Structure 1
Amino acid sequence: MNFLVKWKQRLEERKLWEVFIYLFFGVLTTIVNIAVHFTCLDVFGWHYMVATVVSWVVSILFAFVTNKRWVFHSKTETSIEWVMEFSKFVFYRLLSLVMDMGSMYVLIELIHTGDIVAKIFTQVLVVVANYVFSKFLIFTRK
């Protein structure tokens, strides 16, 4: 346990802890997204675009909670502030959904890659974009 505490302190000293914890929760969010996506495809037999939307909704709810609480430690004092923050979060996640769906379309329909390759590629793209959105446009400290 002592090793983990020292490791965290080193990352904090180098200003890398936030990036690390964001990536940790980003990986978890990606796992949630992919698990829901392929459950929709394989269990329910839905079209990949429908599966992409459903997996997006579930994963952004997970991401909002983890980003707000454990990554950016955002505190909202009023319900209006919370609604504004959540609205910005949803808006920028909608933007990344467009990136996700556009990339899925190009990779599957035009380039003819497999579902798994396309989904993994798009999730890396989305995680990077979402960090930038969250850090600089959503969870800004006053």
Structure 2
Amino acid sequence: MIEIMKESVMRLYRWFKELLIAHNLWDVFTYVFFGGWTTVVNIVVFAIATKLGLSWIIANFLAWLLSVLFAFITNKLWVFHSHVPDFAALMAEIVLFFGARIVSLGIDYGCMFLFIDGLHLSNLVAKVLTQVVIVVANYAFSKFIIFRHKPTDK
């Protein structure tokens, strides 16, 4: 019974993946999936850090750093399937990725200041709202700047 269920789930997965690939949406789907997990990492680290007494400014930076590390690995391996020929090319990807994420960190802090200090929303509500803007900006940076080259094999 378990084997039949497993087989059915795999058939459904393959059908879903083929459908999205046919419509050039597989990258978007995997980005949203892993972006969702990156957002979870960001929010959980932020919530824990603020509960431990860190200011939201420091908690936000810590959450950013850990979520960027998670995002680089998932984006490189499973979203954009980036394969580079050597260590220098890998370092270039890392520098571009972190550079783009520093830009989005500026957007993050701008939104957080607006929501917390300007609109007086709670820290966690501000963090969740800010992540919507950040996910869109980071997808554009990753898709069109950082991992723009196609892999040699998939």
Shorter-chain TM-score above 0.5 = yes
* Match in the other structure for 1:37: 46
Per-residue deviation, 1:22:
0.3
Question: Aligned equivalents of 1:27 and 1:140: distance in 2?
Answer: 21
CA distance in 1, matches of 2:53, 2:29: 36
- The residue aligned with 2:147 is 139
Q: Cα offset for 1:77?
A: 1.2
CA distance in 1, matches of 2:127, 2:104: 13
1:96 aligns with 2:110: no
Q: Kindly indicate whether residue 24 of structure 2 is the aligned counterpart of residue 20 of structure 1.
A: no
Q: Deviations over 1:39-93 (max 9, x none)?
A: 1001x20000100000000000000000000000001111110001100000000
Q: Count residues with an aligned counterpart.
A: 141
What is the rounded CA distance, in whole Å, between the counterparts of 2:130 and 2:136 in structure 1?
10
Q: Percentage identity across aligned positions?
A: 43
Which segments of 5 or more consecutive residues in structure 1 lack a partner in the other structure?
A: none
Which contiguous aligned blocks of 4+ residues in structure 1 show a shift greater than 3 angstroms?
none
Q: What is the CA-CA distance between 1:116 and the residue it aligns to?
A: 2.0
Compute the TM-score of the two structures, normalised by the length of structure 2: 0.89
CA-to-aligned-CA distance 1:93-136 (integer Å, 9 cap, x gap): 00000100111011000110112221111101000000000000
**Aligned counterpart in structure 2 of residue 6 of structure 1, from 11, 15, 33:** 15
TM-score (norm 1): 0.97
Structure showing greater Rg:
2
- What is the RMSD of the two structures over their aligned residues, measured on CA atoms? 0.8
Q: Which SS does the other structure have where 1:104 is aligned?
A: helix
Gaps of 5+ in 2: 1-8
Match of 2:76 among 68, 82, 91: 68
How many angstroms apart in 2 are the aligned matches of 1:39 and 1:113? Answer: 18
Residue number among 81, 84, 88 corresponding to 2:92 in the alignment: 84
